[in-house]
Structure 1
């Protein structure tokens, strides 16, 4: 049948998984028209003289990277770095999750939503000088999906499992085959329609690595010495201190990057990081304490930058551990947590109470669910009904680092600890190094715990299925909640052919989650960052990390 070229608006709809079927002919997606740029509001000091010599940007952050092989990571601190070393097949617009071309210049989708054909950029090289081509794309997906592949991680790849229904041979695995049609064309054939397939491909974890580098070094060494096609090349990693990148002079996006060197520096405390920025030790920082936001705004040498909100901070319950296997106990704890007081005390106007596991900025959010009001009496009543009139003891795992969705994990945990004490629940706060925290909560060692999530792609599936579907236990489903009704709805939503169908299903899922209480959603934050006033062209992305290829000094 005759192919038709879609407009930029319809391209966006496709990218959001809204139109997978119901159209005659195949669909061709090309680069959308250039969108107007919106500058981040900032202070307006007198311009400083341009820097002479090499341009180096030092970015202060609260925690170290876990690893530098993007497919093996799920944490934001890792992606802050890997997004500058690697590229994905498709990307997102500068300040939204609209899908745009990246390593693939355009693509076609069959009417049944089962075949995706990508046309790749020509002349792109990996940092080791090898060619980026269709065979490299195929090799990466085979490595991720095939447990028998020599470079597949022994423990698997968490994000691949979560977003593509398991691995090759699994019942729900989405990708049937990846074919290199020719050097610049790669075709994906799916076992079943997956509405957010295109959205998923833009996620930081699905960046394309140099096959030669992974084979030569092996996965463990590659995880510390990444080789991609991105705007910056890896130079050095000093654990818990700095990661240094340098400009890729052969980057395919001509004229970029603007910086010669990019350094990510760990300064754990938010206040100490702000002091480092003020003194000139660093040029930019994330994790501004909400109470310090006005201080930054009032400093003519700095600019305050607000990241668009697309996150959730929550208290989770490992439903496999007693007494948290009892829904009445979980609901009692939900009533006992004074959510408004926590937000007032720790978010300083840069957060809003959360009712659902995904924020209102994501389509499909159920705004009709009325949240539980803080009530010690109701909490005590439920505990009595559950057989715990005098409460119980529990270990409460608190996040050791500040994250965009949780400005101060330990202090918030201490506030919740005092709330729970009022109903007879003695919560012992447990904390540990961040990478260990993630590893142990993934393994299900925790009881009650704190975590959060920043959306990767703007699709409801990335919150609801990723965090709470039974298929993702042992991955990002740290609550280990395995509700069959929710699972059926989530699987149906993945394969639904219209946005309207998917939305109805997601509204139902959120009702089930609220009723069964595998987690207590606390807040959706608006993360604050700060930078020197002379830094320009920085666009904070809702997903929590971004390429810094366009950043420059004024």
Structure 2
């Protein structure tokens, strides 16, 4: 952290009143202390029936597990598309549509997944079996444009063995496979729906889940209805779940307070302390594997991505501790790499920060020969919190000789631009995965599905593959200790902060579950019996 930051540019950001309430109106609660009070769910007797309205922080992308790329899309999938495996409250992996853990051969090249087939049906009534799993896995691996292809790159072949076993043949041992199958790559789609809709599956998605897709009105709502086909339908209390995209944190919270929403996906960082003590509201709070970073386009010949000295200078200009304090009131964590502190592979090497050194940053700008101030176009999400983040980055970068121009961009448009390589620098996030490979491979492997920077280094590719193939934890740790510093040196992604997950709901609701994967689980949610009795 730098010794004296109130230079003119940064002082102007520190003076921005956007997220700093007047002291007379501020809650007498330490926001950092409130942030540390973890809670994953509230239990209470529930009434049957009714609907739950969930406020999301953005419009989800395509509701197709093969193509989806966003956390907000995963929020909707959590209500309607179960996976072969799931993540539990401790970030462990547990069977969901699988009947047990994968059985791996001695050479690590064959993986057998037992399936739950007794009484399990898709939400259109189609039986769930091994053939259906094979069809979905093959689609994930082979469909043009699939964002699962990188995740399943080690899988050479998938076959059904009877109705209740799937056998995956691998090209190399692949330790992250179970973790991969606990996300969208493990979602199984109805063969009947795939036959009917093909690449347009997102128009009427059908999976196994507690709720089934009913309708989608763009920029307004996605509606799910209780599925009579669900194998545990008697444990589902709600009739409907309605997801509404509301990008502005303040508006989303105001709607929750007014009773227009029952749950909100994300409480703004400066509202955390207030909500944690507010009558009528419940705050759920979990650590996460999430990170936000600045992706730099290495393929842009006219941008800073073309010169590693400029990329390094921009990275060195940023003080992550101050970013957390200024933009987020201290309730998040500085982040300097893809592996979170809650990971079993989090040691001092992978968590170490490259540092904040504006003096060296100015030297690198001079060495590059670029004329200062060096212009940088930074695409950021178009909401107040991220605009303040962008202003903070802008002020810090100015101290090193950069003139950052902010380009606030609507969420879906920013993803499209990133995928097309139509950006110079781009602030975006990743919700994180239990296994480190899920936070690394698709972003840094040559041709990776989320490799928007265009990073390509054969030695890094080999390290990523070797780390994923290592089944001995000590060997994997050594490989990540070598890999992560190499990724940091490239500055293709400049890591900024690690978000905690803050979800709020009204106190007449219970059974909503929040785990460190950030997904809001609604299968067991409902109106409390007391609230239903009061007509609330």
TM-score range for the pair, normalised by the shorter chain length: 0.7 to 0.9
Q: CA deviation at 1:180?
A: 1.4
Q: Please give the residue correspondences for 1:412-427 in structure 2 after superposition, counting only pairs within 5 Å.
A: 412-427=389-404
Secondary structure class of the residue paired with 2:372: coil
Distance 1:90 1:336 in 2: 41
User: Aligned residue for 1:374?
Assistant: 356
Is 1:542 aligned to 2:519, yes or no?
no
Q: CA deviation at 1:428?
A: 1.8
Is 1:105 aligned to 2:99, yes or no?
yes
Distance 1:340 1:495 in 2: 35
Secondary structure class of the residue paired with 2:378: strand
Native 8 Å contact 1:117 1:187 kept in 2: yes
Distance 1:135 1:355 in 2: 43
Distance 1:50 1:324 in 2: 54
TM norm structure 1: 0.83
Is 1:461 aligned to 2:441, yes or no?
no
Q: CA deviation at 1:546?
A: 4.2
Match for residue 85 of structure 1 among 80, 84, 89: 80
Q: CA deviation at 1:346?
A: 1.8
Secondary structure class of the residue paired with 2:274: helix
**What are the Cα deviations for residues 201-228 of structure 1, in whole angstroms up to 9, with x where unaligned?**
11134310011112112322x2121111
Q: CA deviation at 1:176?
A: 2.3
Distance 2:166 2:46 in 1: 44
Secondary structure class of the residue paired with 1:187: strand
Native 8 Å contact 1:360 1:367 kept in 2: no
Native 8 Å contact 2:237 2:524 kept in 1: yes
Distance 2:78 2:225 in 1: 14
Is 1:73 aligned to 2:73, yes or no?
no
User: Aligned residue for 1:208?
Assistant: 188
Is 1:128 aligned to 2:124, yes or no?
yes
Is 1:342 aligned to 2:323, yes or no?
yes
Q: CA deviation at 1:375?
A: 3.4
Native 8 Å contact 1:196 1:459 kept in 2: yes
Q: CA deviation at 1:300?
A: 1.6
**What are the Cα deviations for residues 93-134 of structure 1, in whole angstroms up to 9, with x where unaligned?**
2x1332211112124222222222222222211111111111
User: Aligned residue for 2:25?
Assistant: none
**What are the Cα deviations for residues 225-264 of structure 1, in whole angstroms up to 9, with x where unaligned?**
1111111011111111111111112311353222111111
Is 1:40 aligned to 2:29, yes or no?
no
Q: How large is the Cα RMSD of the aligned pairs?
A: 2.2
Is 1:517 aligned to 2:491, yes or no?
yes
Flag as ranges the 4+ runs of structure 1 deviating above 6 A.
41-44
**What are the Cα deviations for residues 401-421 of structure 1, in whole angstroms up to 9, with x where unaligned?**
58xxxxx22221122112222
Secondary structure class of the residue paired with 1:161: coil
Distance 2:456 2:41 in 1: 45
User: Aligned residue for 1:308?
Assistant: 287
Distance 1:268 1:278, change over 3 A: same
Distance 1:255 1:424 in 2: 62
Native 8 Å contact 2:39 2:286 kept in 1: no
Distance 2:40 2:122 in 1: 36
Distance 1:108 1:324, change over 3 A: closer
User: Aligned residue for 2:21?
Assistant: none
Secondary structure class of the residue paired with 2:515: coil
Secondary structure class of the residue paired with 2:326: helix
Distance 1:258 1:42, change over 3 A: closer
Distance 1:135 1:218 in 2: 17
Distance 1:200 1:41 in 2: 23
Distance 1:455 1:542 in 2: 9
TM norm structure 2: 0.86
User: Aligned residue for 1:33?
Assistant: none
Distance 1:493 1:298 in 2: 44
- Select between 269-278 and 299-308 the one with higher mean Cα deviation: 299-308
Structure 1 unmatched ranges of 5 or more: 1-37, 147-151, 166-173, 403-407
User: Aligned residue for 1:477?
Assistant: 451
Is 1:329 aligned to 2:301, yes or no?
no
Distance 1:395 1:307, change over 3 A: same
Q: CA deviation at 1:533?
A: 1.5
- Select between 497-506 and 413-422 the one with higher mean Cα deviation: 413-422
Distance 2:519 2:312 in 1: 34
Distance 1:401 1:213, change over 3 A: farther
User: Aligned residue for 1:157?
Assistant: 146
Distance 2:371 2:359 in 1: 12
**What are the Cα deviations for residues 174-222 of structure 1, in whole angstroms up to 9, with x where unaligned?**
22221111122222221221111111111134310011112112322x2
Native 8 Å contact 2:289 2:517 kept in 1: yes
Distance 1:375 1:109, change over 3 A: closer
Distance 2:232 2:490 in 1: 48
Distance 1:449 1:409 in 2: 12
Aligned length: 487
Q: CA deviation at 1:446?
A: 1.1
Native 8 Å contact 2:41 2:513 kept in 1: no
Distance 2:379 2:389 in 1: 11
Distance 2:455 2:347 in 1: 20
Q: CA deviation at 1:444?
A: 1.5
Structure 2 unmatched ranges of 5 or more: 1-36, 529-536
Q: CA deviation at 1:366?
A: 4.4
Distance 1:349 1:426 in 2: 26
